[in-house]
């Protein structure tokens, strides 16, 4: 136990000394300089030749698609990483599972709907663990689709008021901090938990910071259009965001549409609400409009909890006495310890989640 405490103390010091940034914040998407915006059309141009690929074909770039699916668990990690450009049975099986998980037609072909989904911002942990999909797509509406971390970790019952603090080096304005406050409020409205901002970063239960590059937690950030953020399960309480992204504070979609079709514009509150769900112990859901769904639909700012989110977090913590939502009884997906199978990163950094924007684009951009 003393070794664990020492390791935690060392890790905390390393994070404090990590590269920090003031981050890129914009009041709305219209205020982002055009030079920073990279529309989806750019991504489409890079992999148009993959559109329509099917079993039996050999096309440059297929190997990178296999690596993408291996990253998210659709191809066994013990499989060789020296993939070929053959569209083989392994890729077809992986593709069909992906399509089923995200409620697409399981064609086994890289069709337009599938590629459009692949380039959406998404959480970077695996959807398939040890050959088993952790998403419960296609099941009856009476079955819950939420999931938990291995062992179902949660904050102790004695700790109902969780404190949070921001890394002082970030020098965040009150407007930025209020985005996180709203995100926390969405979870406190449905649970007995409350969240209080304090000044002491070291003493806070939840530590929020914007970092760049390698910030000593084993999950380096990679600049715009890469990893957006990651958070860790209770009681770790670390919530890190990439300071090089273009964070939009007032994320109301523009009238001419496609707010999230511009891959380098990121709605801060949407990411914050999702990551707080992970901080509380929730995994992913296959309900498409839920906060805990792994992908973010183009043009949508998703900040409202839906029934599946509420039922999941209330299974861990119970209901807020003042909550007047529905009382539908749902059966959690899988077994009692069903999880989304987040990988164990180390004795401290366990069950980490990553938001990845344009991760598919990043895999094949160099094709």
Lowest mean pLDDT among 22-36, 186-200, 254-268: 254-268
What's the mean pLDDT in 260-279?
A: 80
- Check whether domain 20-33+140-358 has CATH 3.40.390.10, yes or no: yes
Q: 163-185: per-residue pLDDT in tens?
A: 999 999 999 999 999 999 999 99
Banded model confidence at residue 149, pLDDT cuts 50, 70, 90:
confident
Task: Measure the CA–CA gap between 20 and 23, rounded to whole angstroms.
Answer: 8
Confirm whether residue 161 is marked as ligand binding.
no
Confirm whether residue 71 is marked as ligand binding.
no
Confirm whether residue 230 is marked as ligand binding.
yes
Task: Measure the CA–CA gap between 132 and 234, rounded to whole angstroms.
Answer: 24
Query: Which pLDDT score, from 0 to 100, does residue 296 have?
Result: 67
Task: Measure the CA–CA gap between 226 and 242, rounded to whole angstroms.
Answer: 9
Query: Which pLDDT score, from 0 to 100, does residue 45 have?
Result: 58
Q: 184-232: per-residue pLDDT in tens?
A: 999 999 999 999 999 999 999 999 999 988 877 777 776 666 667 888 8
Banded model confidence at residue 319, pLDDT cuts 50, 70, 90:
very high
Query: Which pLDDT score, from 0 to 100, does residue 207 have?
Result: 97
CB-based contact 59:91 (threshold 8 Å)? no
CA distances to 99, 269, 313, 325 from 320, rounded to whole Å, are 36, 22, 11, 10
Query: Which pLDDT score, from 0 to 100, does residue 360 have?
Result: 58
Intrachain domains 20-33+140-358 and 35-124 with the same fold:
no
- The catalytically annotated residue of 86, 92, 275, 297 is 275
Element (H, E) at 208: strand 206-211
Q: What is the pTM of this model?
A: 0.74
Is the per-residue pLDDT at 86 higher than 70? yes
Q: SS3 for 83?
A: coil
The DSSP line for 73-127 is TSS-TTS-S---SB--HHHHHHHHHHHHHTT----SS--HHHHHHHTS-EE-S-S
Lowest mean pLDDT among 26-35, 115-124, 242-251, 309-318: 26-35
Query: Which pLDDT score, from 0 to 100, does residue 249 have?
Result: 85
What's the mean pLDDT in 322-340?
A: 50
Is the per-residue pLDDT at 106 higher than 90? yes
Burial 10-48, CB ≥16 within 10 A → b, else e:
ebbeebbebebbebbbbeebeebeeeeebebeebeeebe
Query: Which pLDDT score, from 0 to 100, does residue 14 have?
Result: 43
For domain 35-124, give the CATH number: 1.10.101.10
What's the mean pLDDT in 124-129?
A: 69
Average pLDDT for the chain: 76
Task: Measure the CA–CA gap between 44 and 30, rounded to whole angstroms.
Answer: 23
CB-based contact 170:210 (threshold 8 Å)? yes
Backbone angles phi, psi at 152, to 5 degrees: 50, 55
Confirm whether residue 135 is marked as ligand binding.
no
Burial class (CB in 10 A: 0-12, 13-18, 19+), 279: buried
- Taking residue 66's Cβ as centre, other Cβ atoms within 10 Å add up to 26
Confirm whether residue 205 is marked as ligand binding.
yes
Query: Which pLDDT score, from 0 to 100, does residue 328 have?
Result: 42
**Would you list the domain boundaries of the chain?**
20-33+140-358, 35-124
Q: 1-20: per-residue pLDDT in tens?
A: 444 344 344 444 444 445 55
Is 275 a residue of the active site? yes
Selected residue with higher pLDDT from 41 and 32: 32
């Amino acid at each position: 136990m003393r070794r664990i405490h020492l390791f935690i103390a060392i890790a905390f010091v390393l994070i404090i000394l990590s590269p920090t940034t003031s981050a890129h914040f914009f009041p709305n998407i219209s205020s982002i300089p055009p030079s920073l915006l990279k529309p989806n059309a750019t991504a489409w141009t890079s992999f148009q030749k993959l559109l329509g690929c099917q079993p039996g074909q050999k096309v440059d770039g297929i190997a990178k698609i296999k690596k993408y699916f291996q990253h998210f668990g659709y191809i066994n990690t013990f499989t060789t990483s020296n993939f070929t450009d053959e569209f083989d049975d392994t890729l077809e099986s992986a593709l069909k599972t992906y399509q089923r998980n995200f409620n697409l037609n399981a064609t086994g072909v890289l069709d337009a709907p599938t590629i459009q989904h692949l380039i959406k911002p998404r959480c970077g942990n695996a959807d398939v663990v040890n050959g088993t999909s952790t998403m419960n797509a296609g099941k009856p509406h009476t079955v819950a689709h939420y999931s938990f971390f291995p062992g179902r970790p949660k904050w102790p019952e004695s700790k109902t008021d969780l404190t949070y603090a921001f890394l002082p080096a970030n020098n965040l304005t009150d407007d930025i901090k209020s985005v996180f406050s709203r995100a926390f409020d969405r979870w406190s409205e449905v649970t007995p938990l409350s969240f209080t901002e304090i000044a002491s970063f070291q003493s806070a239960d939840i530590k929020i910071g914007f970092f760049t590059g390698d910030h000593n937690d084993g999950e380096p950030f990679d600049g715009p259009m890469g990893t957006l953020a990651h958070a860790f399960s209770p009681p770790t309480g670390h919530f890190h965001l990439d300071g090089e992204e273009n964070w939009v504070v007032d994320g109301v979609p523009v009238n001419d549409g496609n707010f999230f079709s511009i891959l380098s514009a990121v709605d801060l509150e949407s990411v914050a609400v999702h990551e707080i769900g992970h901080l509380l112990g929730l995994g992913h859901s296959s309900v498409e409009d839920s906060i805990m769904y792994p992908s973010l639909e183009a043009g949508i700012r998703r900040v409202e909890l839906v029934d599946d989110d509420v039922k999941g977090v209330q299974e861990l913590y119970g209901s807020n006495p003042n909550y007047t939502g529905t009382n539908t009884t749902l059966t959690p997906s899988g077994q009692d310890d069903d999880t989304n199978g987040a990988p164990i990163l180390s004795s401290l950094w366990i069950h980490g989640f990553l938001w990845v924007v344009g991760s598919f684009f990043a895999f094949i951009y160099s094709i």
